Each structure stands twice: as structure tokens, then as C-alpha cells.
């Protein structure tokens, strides 16, 4: 089977990496909209339009299923994308919530949700977690972590200072939803910041578990990945060499 993986840029490679390490599909077609990243500060109608344009892009590839690795697109554009696509389209928010609910049984657990401005403003994680009965939710827009990761800063004082900027006034959470494609790359620093206490929810791991639960099967074949970008293909190729 051939899966499309769509992201606003390079961050979705963290989801592609999970699919490479836990093969469910023989072929992965990755598309990063590097010409228009970041999506996080954009309005909902723009994000929906970009999501629909991604469906047009994937029409060239005869994919069997599409994974929207981008949390921001998952928060706003899934319904519209599903109406336009001839194949199933999965986002990462529902799988993330499902993974959290499997790991955290106490409904009074402190849960921190971090993501882009658009993802946090959509309230999608918060609404769905509340519907499951989780009561203690904190959500923080941590968009500045995106360019830091893009710069390849995955540890050290600059990152630690930024984590301190965002997290210094909050109580150590029991779980953190890494609600942005880039954040798994700094999961070690985030965990260290909170003295290793919180359980971290990673979109890539969550979607693999979720698709297995939906009946997709593991394959023994190592997937082939082809990477496309709307701009700076060389840049994405270099990042993919480092991250994958
Ligand atoms: N891919 C985006 C997400 O997961 C982060 C980068 C962006 O703002 O486009 O929300």
C-alpha cells in the first residue's frame, strides 16, 4: 500500500520516521509545503485552502491513504480534505488523544498540550480531552520552538531558555501532548526540563498505534520513501538525511 504524508514543511518527517520504523505501508510519498511554512500563525480559511491543495497534489500519486502529519492542518482542514479525497484521510489529533487516554487513566491527571497558535486556538485537543472527562488541562502556544528546531537546535542553552520562557509558571504535568510535528525532536529536552516525570505523546507513535487499532497490518518490507517539497527541495533533503 502507498501512503501519503503531508506536512507544512519538514516537521512531518518525525511522523514519516515512525512509519519507516514501524512499517504499515510499502511506499511513503512525503510532501512538505516548504514554500508556505509555517502554517501555525495563519488563519483557519488559509489552512483549509492549503489542506485542499495538498489533496490536489496527492491526486498525482494514486495513494491508498493520506496522513496529515501537521497538527495545525489536522485541527482545521480534515473534514474538507475528507470530502475531496477518494481515500481515507487521517489527522494526528484523534490518534494523539486516543494514545493519551490509553496511557493516562486518572482523569484528574495534569495534562499539558503544546502546539502552534492555530492548533491551540482551535481548541480541538482541549474539547476532545474534556469530552473524555480529563479535567486538568493546560494549553500553551509554543510556536517559537518550531524555528529553533528548524535551525537544528535540539539541545543546549538557547532551547533551555525557551522552554523556561514557556513553562516556568506551570506545575510539572503528568503528560504532555506534543501537538506539533517538530516537538518529538526536542522531547528529550522537554522531558529533562520536567525532571523526566511526564509521559510524552508523540504524533508519529500515536498514528502507528491508531492505524494498527483500525485494522492496518504491519508489513515486513522496509518502506520506500520519496520526498517532495514546494520550495527548497535541497533543504528538505538535507534535513531528511539528518532526521530520518
Ligand atoms: N507542522 C506544524 C504543526 O504540526 C508546525 C509547523 C507550522 O507552523 O507549520 O502544527
Binding site membership of 179 for ligand 1 (Cβ less than 6 Å):
no
Which of 5, 39, 43, 178 for mutating ligand 1's site (highest number of atoms within 8 Å of CB)? Answer: 39
- Reduce the DSSP state of residue 27 to 3 states and report it: strand
Arch. (CATH architecture) of 2-91+205-243:
3-Layer(aba) Sandwich (3.40)
Q: Give me the CATH topology for the region 93-202.
A: Rossmann fold (3.40.50)
pLDDT at 150: 87
Give me the residue spans of the domains in the chain.
2-91+205-243, 93-202
The sheet with strand 89-90 has its strands ordered as 89-90, 65-68, 2-7, 27-32, 224-229
* Beta partners for residue 202, in sequence order: 178
pLDDT lower than 50: segments of the chain = none
Binding site membership of 37 for ligand 1 (Cβ less than 6 Å):
yes
In CATH terms, are 2-91+205-243 and 93-202 the same topology?
A: yes
pLDDT digit string, tens, across residues 59-111: 999 999 999 999 999 999 999 999 999 999 999 999 999 999 999 999 999 99
pLDDT at 234: 93
For the question of whether the overall pTM of this predicted structure is more than 0.85, the answer is yes
Grid cell 474534556 is found at 130
Active site residue 180: yes
Amino acid at each position: 500500500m502507498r501512503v501519503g504524508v503531508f506536512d507544512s514543511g519538514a516537521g512531518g518527517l518525525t511522523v514519516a520516521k515512525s512509519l519507516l520504523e514501524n512499517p504499515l505501508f510499502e511506499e511513503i510519498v512525503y510532501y512538505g509545503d516548504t514554500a508556505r511554512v509555517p502554517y501555525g500563525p495563519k488563519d483557519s480559511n488559509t489552512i483549509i485552502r492549503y489542506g485542499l491543495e495538498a489533496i490536489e497534489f496527492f491526486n498525482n500519486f494514486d495513494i491508498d491513504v493520506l496522513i496529515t502529519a501537521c497538527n495545525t492542518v489536522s485541527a482545521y482542514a480534515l473534514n474538507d480534505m475528507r470530502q475531496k479525497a477518494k481515500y481515507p484521510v487521517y489527522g494526528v489529533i484523534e490518534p494523539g488523544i486516543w494514545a493519551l487516554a490509553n496511557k493516562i487513566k486518572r482523569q484528574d491527571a495534569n495534562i499539558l498540550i503544546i502546539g502552534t497558535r492555530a492548533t491551540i486556538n482551535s481548541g480541538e485537543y482541549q474539547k476532545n480531552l474534556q469530552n473524555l472527562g480529563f479535567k486538568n488541562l493546560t494549553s500553551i502556544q509554543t510556536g517559537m520552538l518550531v524555528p529553533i528546531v528548524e535551525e537544528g537546535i535540539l539541545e543546549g542553552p538557547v532551547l533551555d531558555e525557551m522552554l523556561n520562557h514557556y513553562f516556568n509558571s506551570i506545575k510539572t504535568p503528568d503528560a504532555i501532548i506534543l501537538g506539533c510535528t517538530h516537538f518529538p525532536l526536542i522531547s528529550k529536552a522537554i522531558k529533562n526540563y520536567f525532571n523526566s516525570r511526564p509521559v510524552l505523546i508523540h504524533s508519529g507513535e500515536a498514528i502507528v498505534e491508531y492505524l494498527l487499532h483500525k485494522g492496518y497490518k504491519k508489513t515486513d518490507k522496509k518502506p520506500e520513501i520519496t520526498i517532495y517539497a514546494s520550495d527548497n527541495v535541497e533543504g528538505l533533503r538535507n534535513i531528511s538525511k539528518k532526521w530520518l
